[in-house]
Amino acid sequence: MNLIKKLISFPYQCAHEFHKSLYALKILKSQKLPKFSIVVGNLSFGGTGKTPFTIRLAEELINKGFKPCVLMRGYKSQKNHQPLILDTLKDSAPDVKSSGDEALEIFEHFKHKSHPLIMAIHPSRLKSSREALLAYPDIDIFILDDGYQHLAVEPDLRILLKNINETGFSREFAFNEKNADFIIYTKVNPTWLKANPDKLSLEYNLSLTNNLHNTNQIGIFTGIGDPRSFQSMVENYLKNQKFNLENIEIKSWFFPDHHFFSENEVTQVLTLGINIITTRKDLTKIPCDLRGRFNVACIELKSYPEDLFENLIKVVVKTDVSGLVVGLTSPTKGELNDA
């Protein structure tokens, strides 16, 4: 992180430490959620791949027979007094301005696959968890997406994601990594993996919804936290597909994270008549009648070790002598190290 970014980050980091001190002095009080809770977060201002991770974690829990509920702030969504509770099997997709782009991305993923997931969107995770549980009493686990700085909740498990290419702004000082139960390094590459064989890590691979036509121009249209990594993933995809990058001009349109595209911004890039690649998160903010003209990138996670997600779940699942799941329990540091 260069000096300018450190200077800009410093007030946010100090403000967070002051906020933490209010909880340490018992002026403010953290509360447990009514069911087992897992926080997924980072120390930076985005770009670590939290949404794909949350999707995968929720899928793994569903496959194990749990009924998870994802709690989200709904960043840049319209402020609702009451939580927005969504059931991916029963409800229609909400408007992106009422849910936020990341929440809608998760909803549409599970809706498309007909997988059952409950979501609750509201700045207060305490309030949204209680409302969700009233509507769906069989919820047995909460996932707080981007909840690492949400100190009002005392989670049972903290998972910190750390982008190995992180050069952006930081919300917390680096020493707060010690508060995590698991640190998982994201967007890793073969060189990093060779040097760090014992680290928990995730490789983010890209596939496209449509084949690219023979072209000497490709566009990248996105408003996410780490657009440079996304462009690198596109370039790696092109290499794997045997495209000669020396013969391809890659144009990029990078917008701020969570940017709501105007119709003019979308139509202008489409008039170029070239392959335009975007992300699923960005697609939620593109008018429905124009979405089909974009080539959408799908992110697939490869975990190291291969049973990473199985181990994450294993350390919190309480079983009886026959192996039947009887509940969830907070793991000890020793159990985490053994996992």
* Chunked mean pLDDT (size 10), the chain, 339 residues: 74 89 91 93 86 95 93 80 93 92 95 94 94 96 92 93 83 89 93 94 91 82 90 90 87 92 91 89 92 92 94 72 50 51
pLDDT on residue 276: 92
**Within this chain, do residues 12 and 148 fall inside the same structural domain, yes or no?**
yes
Q: At what angle do helices 101-113 and 50-63 cross, to 10 degrees?
A: 30
Backbone φ and ψ of 250, nearest 5°: -100, 115
Residue 301 CA to residue 6 CA, distance in Å, equals 30
pLDDT on residue 272: 84
pLDDT on residue 303: 96
**Within this chain, do residues 18 and 74 fall inside the same structural domain, yes or no?**
yes
**Within this chain, do residues 178 and 246 fall inside the same structural domain, yes or no?**
no
**Domain-embedded: residue 192:** no
pLDDT on residue 12: 85
**Within this chain, do residues 253 and 325 fall inside the same structural domain, yes or no?**
no
Backbone φ and ψ of 220, nearest 5°: -120, 120
143: tokens are: 């996932």
DSSP-derived 3-state class of residue 16: helix
**Within this chain, do residues 326 and 280 fall inside the same structural domain, yes or no?**
no
Would the pTM count as exceeding 0.95?
no
* CA angle, 183 then 188 then 192, to 5°: 100
Q: Measuring CA to CA, how many Å separate 165 from each of 44, 173, 267, 312?
A: 12, 17, 32, 24
**Within this chain, do residues 295 and 328 fall inside the same structural domain, yes or no?**
no
Residue 85 CA to residue 71 CA, distance in Å, equals 9
Closest by CA position to 149, among listed 331, 13, 9 = 13
**Within this chain, do residues 116 and 246 fall inside the same structural domain, yes or no?**
no
CA 198 to chain CA centroid, nearest Å: 23
Residue 298 CA to residue 320 CA, distance in Å, equals 39
Q: Measuring CA to CA, how many Å separate 36 from each of 66, 271, 279?
A: 11, 50, 31
**Within this chain, do residues 130 and 170 fall inside the same structural domain, yes or no?**
yes
CATH number at residue 134: 3.40.50
335: tokens are: 């159990």
**Domain-embedded: residue 263:** yes
Residue 302 CA to residue 203 CA, distance in Å, equals 5
Closest by CA position to 250, among listed 224, 218, 277, 285 = 218
**Domain-embedded: residue 163:** yes
**Within this chain, do residues 49 and 176 fall inside the same structural domain, yes or no?**
yes
Contact 12, 116 (CB under 8 A): no
* CA angle, 211 then 283 then 102, to 5°: 125
**Within this chain, do residues 112 and 132 fall inside the same structural domain, yes or no?**
yes
**Within this chain, do residues 259 and 210 fall inside the same structural domain, yes or no?**
yes
Residue 281 CA to residue 183 CA, distance in Å, equals 24
**Within this chain, do residues 236 and 310 fall inside the same structural domain, yes or no?**
no
Q: Which domain holds residue 242?
A: 205-300
Return the number of other C-beta atoms located less than 10 Å from residue 292's C-beta: 10
One-letter amino acid identity for 49?
G
**Domain-embedded: residue 196:** no
Contact 234, 245 (CB under 8 A): no
| Adjacent-strand bridge partners of 277 | 220, 295
pLDDT on residue 147: 87
**In the chain, how many domains are there?**
2
| Tokens 């959408």, residue located | 296
